[in-house]
Structure 1
Amino acid sequence: MNNLLVIVFIGFGATAVMDLWSIARKSLFGIPLPNYGMVGRWIAHMPHGQFRHNSIAKSCQVTGEHIIGWTAHYLIGTIFAALLIIIWGESWVHNPTITPALLVGIATVLAPFLIMQPGMGAGIAASKTHNPASARLHSLITHTVFGFGLYVSGWVVKLFYSI
């Protein structure tokens, strides 16, 4: 199986697991689903030189922001899957273990804490939100679930390798 295809499958799979968690979280705890349209809006403003917003929700809407945001969401998940395989090697794909997957998943929480949230006006690690501690905890849990998704997706790929 092609390495790029493996990385895309693991990245998409892990991101889908994270999205399923968001749906479950909404049903179980009433927590709203993430709005990837806001991520798309943030990204769409970048070519115009605007990388930071006081409030992304108050920034001008952009045509296609939802498509941009969802595409970025899955592309970023794929990049993080590539990071896992770069660090632990192709041998991880042949024998997925949970520790590397969880370590990468948990480490990925640094991206929203240090890049996305400050850029969208929420401050470093959601410090400017209504309840920063809750936002941080939910981000950490969600990225841990992403790490679990990397592991599960790695096992699915391994099953295809065995065929």
Structure 2
Amino acid sequence: MTETRWLSGREQRMWRAYNDMCRYLVQALDRQFAAAGLSSADYELLVPLSEAPEQCLRARDLGRMVHWDRSRLSHQLRRMEQRGLLKREGCSDDARGVTVSLTPEGRKAIEVAAPGHVETVRRLFVDELTPEEVDMLTAISYRVLSRTAEESLGPGKSIYVATIDPEA
């Protein structure tokens, strides 16, 4: 059995500060989404739909884009469809598939929420970093994401594949 590699005081401060930062940023974004009448899950699905050609995607592709399992995606899509933000229809070229389309109400919802979202991200995060820190944080994030993609997470191995385009 190998000995536990405990975090040093410096590493522990970094890890706790990082966790607190993520938690507080998520809470601030959740409040901003709620003010716009959305949840963070709503927004997470509305973004790729709003950016897709004809604002329509296959459900499986949408799930892959947001890294959600089928069950979570299905439940969230059902809730959003009940609220008129999107519609689901059988896929014309595959009887087993489902297409998800943004409705005019969904389009309006993201158009209302997006300016506040980007302002919150900019005010609380981006504006606090120098251009060099932005590049450094981007590089660190890609490296950590690549490493986590290599790890086996059991039967549901991570669907996040390190195919990150650094230029995107």
TM over 0.5: no
Higher strand share: 2
Larger Rg: 2
- What TM-score do the two structures reach when normalised by structure 1? 0.31
- What TM-score do the two structures reach when normalised by structure 2? 0.30
Higher helix share: 1
Where relative contact order (Cα < 8 A, 6+ residues apart) is larger, the structure is: 1
